[in-house]
Amino acid sequence: SGRWAKAMAIVRELDEKCGTPIGKLMQVADAMAVEMHAGLASEGGSKLKMIISYVDNLPTGDEKGWFYALDLGGTNFRVLRVQLGGKDHLVGKQEFEEVSIPPHLMVGTSDALFDFIAEALKKFVDTEGEDFHLSPGRERELGFTFSFPIKQSSIASGTLMKWTKGFSIEDAVGQDVVGELTKALERVGLNMRVTALVNDTIGTLAGGRYYDSNVIAAVILGTGTNAAYVERAHAIPKWHGLLPKSGEMAINMEWGNFRSSHLPLTEYDQAMDAESLNPGEQIFEKIISGMYLGEIVRRVLCRMAEEASFFGDTVPPKLKIPFILRTPDMSAMHHDTSSDLRVVGRKLKDVLEISNTSLRTRKAIVKVCDIVSVRGARLSAAGILGILKKLGRDTLKEGENLKSVIALDGGLFEHYTLFRNSLESTLKELLGEASETIVIQHSNDGSGIGAALLAASHSQYL
């Protein structure tokens, strides 16, 4: 029928506009490497902020004692208590708790957010067991993982540059987030000192390096996306401080803000961006990460409903609600292997209140999920190739046997298997024979442990 043909034309056009042939991915990788150079050359020199993390020594394995970590990333935050055991024992006991952030606090005031966090931390501290031990006179120390762009001024201070991922708390922008947290800890009467402020990518890099010295970069694919890597200190022209003894510096790329004319963008992306809290920003993040993939699919389905009566004569009202289709729902539909696609049917009913869909309708929806997720996964792989190119690790070198490990973490990478498979196979394809030397390592909650490790290596008692 005419309607079906029109709907299929929309899917076909989406497929074309989202296309990521190898040549295009190479251009994206090259553009990423170029922007990395520019961001390292001067402050504000690139869309990539290439933030100096002040982490110039990654964990060695010698770190010892009990430490806390706090991870504020997206919709949840985690509090963590770990016992570091030194070289032969590494991580001993670990305990954690996850707390979801009430949505009104994501757009409220700085005090309200930090009071909520401090209260949760205090409750967690109250659960310290018999084996928890600090030497007499020592304060508890905490590594604070804060996954928003920070202009770092030392290992334990930094001001918030802007919010991302749906947060918008005006009075926190420009504030030192360690100061904000410390004041809240005082307000709730919790005696604890923040000794390291790190981004989740830096935490994951540190956590990854702790277990494997070949880890050179970390990538987060969760609610948002970002990457960090280890740079040679002399390759950071904008760094005017003393060169660190190690000769290295971890750089937080803030790659979510990458954009390039080579990125395959569609009208759906443009509309979503225009209506977002941060129009024009975080374009790479908006086509790759978990906060947005489901929303892009919803927008495509909405257009199919409006212009091709894809779900019947009327547009299902729920389908018009932004962000109602979450990436985990999209992922569940995409992974449906049943012959009648009953998971797709159930999600349509439960999430969008659309019932009685035909098998071919469900198949078309799976196709839309596939197009959107494969674009995100392949572009993520191109971003990783960009880092490898910047470091000169994207090709095999005569007589050298360098192994490069990339630590990956985040709910999207962890749970969206088809996304992850596509990312991994695309990276292999892009690297060719050099892919033997590159390993993608899932670093489960590396960022929490990493922050605790950095709190330990920057302890006030060393």
Per CB under 6 A, residues contacting ligand ADP are 73-75, 222-224, 290-291, 327-328, 331, 410-412, 415-416
Collapsing DSSP to helix, strand or coil, 262 comes out as: coil
The four Cα atoms 388, 456, 141, 217 give a dihedral, to 10 degrees, of 10
Question: Which of these is catalytic: 49, 165, 347, 389?
Answer: 165
Question: Shortest approach of Mg ion to residue 254 CB, angstroms?
Answer: 15
Residues near Mg ion, by CB under 5 A: 73, 200, 222
244 binds, among Mg ion, ligand ADP, none (CB under 5 to 8 A by kind): none
Collapsing DSSP to helix, strand or coil, 244 comes out as: coil
- The C-alpha R_g of the chain, in whole angstroms, comes to 23
309 binds, among Mg ion, ligand ADP, none (CB under 5 to 8 A by kind): none
DSSP strands (E only) in 214-287: 215-221, 225-232, 248-252
Judged by beta carbon, residue 62 or residue 98, the one nearer ligand ADP is 98
Question: Shortest approach of Mg ion to residue 66 CB, angstroms?
Answer: 23
In the chain, the amino acid numbered 40 is: L
Which tokens in the block code for residue 310? 């894809």
Assign residue 44 a region (left: φ > 0; alpha: ψ between -120 and 50; beta: otherwise): left
The secondary element (H helix, E strand) that includes residue 68 is: strand 64-72
Judged by beta carbon, residue 73 or residue 446, the one nearer Mg ion is 73
328 binds, among Mg ion, ligand ADP, none (CB under 5 to 8 A by kind): ligand ADP
290 binds, among Mg ion, ligand ADP, none (CB under 5 to 8 A by kind): ligand ADP
Question: Shortest approach of ligand ADP to residue 285 CB, angstroms?
Answer: 11
390 has catalytic annotation: no
Which of 117, 98, 96 lies closest to 167, judged by CA?
Answer: 117
Question: Shortest approach of ligand ADP to residue 201 CB, angstroms?
Answer: 11
The Cα 118–Cα 192 span in angstroms is 10
Question: Shortest approach of Mg ion to residue 74 CB, angstroms?
Answer: 6
Q: How many other C-beta atoms can be found within 10 angstroms of the C-beta atom of residue 2?
A: 8
327 binds, among ligand ADP, Mg ion, none (CB under 5 to 8 A by kind): ligand ADP
245 has catalytic annotation: no
Judged by beta carbon, residue 215 or residue 408, the one nearer ligand ADP is 408
Judged by beta carbon, residue 74 or residue 143, the one nearer ligand ADP is 74
Judged by beta carbon, residue 176 or residue 295, the one nearer ligand ADP is 295
User: 457 with 53: CB under 8 angstroms?
Assistant: no
User: 437 with 430: CB under 8 angstroms?
Assistant: no
> How do strand 91-100 and strand 76-85 relate by DSSP bridges?
antiparallel
411 binds, among Mg ion, ligand ADP, none (CB under 5 to 8 A by kind): ligand ADP
Question: Which of these is catalytic: 56, 176, 200, 445?
Answer: 200
Question: Shortest approach of ligand ADP to residue 96 CB, angstroms?
Answer: 13
Which of 365, 386, 391, 353 lies closest to 310, judged by CA?
Answer: 365
Judged by beta carbon, residue 94 or residue 153, the one nearer ligand ADP is 94
The Cα 149–Cα 160 span in angstroms is 6
Residues serving a catalytic function are 165, 200
